[in-house]
Amino acid sequence: MRGLDAFFSPRTVAVVGASRDPAKIGHLVLKYLLESDARVYPVNPSADEILGRPCYPDLASIPEEVDLAVLAVPAATTVQMVRQCVDKGVRAIIAQASGFGETGEEGRRLEQEIRSILAAAPPDRRPRLLGPNTLGVYVPRRRLDTTFTLRERSPRPGPGDIAFISQSGATAVCIMEAAATLGVGLSAFVGIGNKLDVDENELLDYFAQDPCTRAIALYLESFRDGRGFLERCRRITPHKPVVVLKTGRSATGARAAALHTGSLAGSDRVVEGALRQVGAFRAYDEEELVDLARALGHGRPLAGKRVAVLTTAGGLGVIATDLLESRDRGAGLELAPISEEGKARLRSVLVPFASVHNPIDLTANSSNGHYAASLEVLEAEPEVDAILCVMQFQSPFVDDGLAQIIIDWFHRGPKPMVVVTIGGELSQRGLRQVVQAGVPAYPSLWRAVRALAALYQRGQYLRRLHPLPPAADAAEPPEGRAAT
């Protein structure tokens, strides 16, 4: 076990401050961790057993090595417990308590004490520490969950492939709830809190290597080491997309961040350009953060800017066209021309009053079959770089099977595809289904178009990094010329 693995795949976990009281954090943390695949040890000197598990008076009495210790105790006690962790040889510590640097002088002194304890430990027995002031980690595929919000109130996302690093715990909880509702999954969540030891940079490195992570989303109020962050992005973004919601864009925002997590935001204008240069995406709000991470993590980058729109409501096609093509309040992309052959094929399968011009309008009489046939045509169109599929469930000839048709074409077809659905319960159900299957799908046209724009931008970035060799027919001069 090396690096930060002890945080994300511990074999053994100690819950220090485990409690019998269901209202206590130390109870919730233990309860949820008992569902994980790790061996879990409650630590509490004044209890014999909690939730059916024998309780240990201290870390030292745990009969095996401890990979991860979750400290669910107040700030002052946390300091003592870090000392115990060092003595026990614990590999990783999650310090959950608040009341540290974010609250003022006394808190900063406590943090300094922890730093000294860690520094004094022999390097080969020096635990890594997450926090303080953090919910810790949540790794859905292992059911490893140290966050202590009630699951009944705060549903968690299922397993997925987006890593989410957040400097704010409560905010991350809200974002994860919204993501879960939409069907978005995570490879891991990690709250960095006051980043006394482990920071966003090290976590970037970690998730860059993590085979379960396809995109990295960060909520940051400050950079521990901005230059280091950018260097990492430059190294990572060619392989894995990085999306950053970095606050402090406004002066008051920067001050608010300083009050919230005690962090200095740094100059924002530098951030903006620098992130772009190293191929990272900047998100401007909590919704865009997850929207872009999904688009970039699951979608294919666009090779060109020509998009085919498939819809059953002409108006939605027209609005989408404006959003795709406009430079102001739009994506600056283009509508793809459909070949005459493609139009003929579409005409042969669609209802007579359907429009085979892009945006392609299946009309309100669309069926599952019309969608499937149209996608087949569009996937083969030479001048289509991407498909915006408007998945609507209003037609009586469309049923729940539509979502699966779209999922299949998304995975099978060569073209990048983004899906949008506007409507009520049926739409929301369909949306959840396709999102869970890894399709970048959204409940509004603009969010879908913005996803396409990001995939186009990423395509351009990757192309600049790795210019394609000239096409074969152009690379080899025609025989006649070669002879001259």
User: Under rule CB under 8 A, how many of the chain's residues touch its own copies?
Assistant: 85
Residue 426 within binding range of its own copies, rule CB under 8 A: yes
Residue count (the chain): 484
Decide if 72 contacts 16 (C-beta within 8 A).
yes
Residues numbered 202-241 forming contacts with its own copies, rule: CB under 8 A: 219, 221
Give the Cα separation of 326 and 343 in Å (integer).
Answer: 25
Is residue 267 part of the contact set for its own copies (CB under 8 A)? no
Residues 37-96 that bind its own copies (CB under 8 A): none
Using CB under 8 A as the binding rule, whether residue 21 contacts its own copies is answered as no
Binding residue for its own copies, selected from 89, 405, 423, 436, defined by CB under 8 A: 423
Q: Which stretch binds its own copies (CB under 8 A): 37-45, 84-92, 136-144, 253-261?
A: 253-261
* 435 counts as binding its own copies under rule CB under 8 A: no
Residue 397 pairs in a beta bridge with 367
- The interface with its own copies within residues 363-392 (CB under 8 A) comprises 363-364, 392
Contact segment (CB under 8 A) with its own copies among 53-61, 161-169, 192-200, 225-233 equals 161-169
Q: Which residues contact 109 (CB under 8 A, 6 or more apart)?
A: none
Told to check if 98 binds its own copies by CB under 8 A, we report: yes
Residue 170 within binding range of its own copies, rule CB under 8 A: yes
Element (H, E) at 403: helix 401-412
- Of the candidates 383, 328, 326, 391, the one whose C-alpha atom is nearest the C-alpha of residue 358 is 383
Sign of CA dihedral 380, 385, 391, 392: negative
- Closest distance of CB 335 from its own copies, Å: 5
Look up residue 381 and give its two tokens. 């169109």
Considering only residues 125 to 154 of the shown chain, the ones binding its own copies according to CB under 8 A are: 149-150, 153-154
**CB distance 247 to 221 below 8 Å:** yes
Q: How far is the CB of 151 from its own copies (least distance, A)?
A: 10
Q: Does 274 contact its own copies by CB under 8 A?
A: no
Figure out which of the listed residues 160, 183, 185, 248 binds its own copies, where binding follows CB under 8 A.
248
**Nearest alpha-carbon partner for 162 in 241, 280, 239, 278:** 241
Find the shortest distance in angstroms from Cβ 196 to its own copies.
18
Measured from the CB of residue 95, what is the shortest distance to its own copies in angstroms? Answer: 17
- Residue 445 Cβ vs its own copies, minimum distance, rounded to whole Å: 5
Q: Is 484 in the site for its own copies (CB under 8 A)?
A: no
Find out whether the peptide bond into 123 is cis, omega within 30 degrees of 0. no
Say if residues 35 and 143 touch (Cβ distance below 8 Å).
Answer: yes
Strands 39-43 and 12-16, bridge-based pairing: parallel
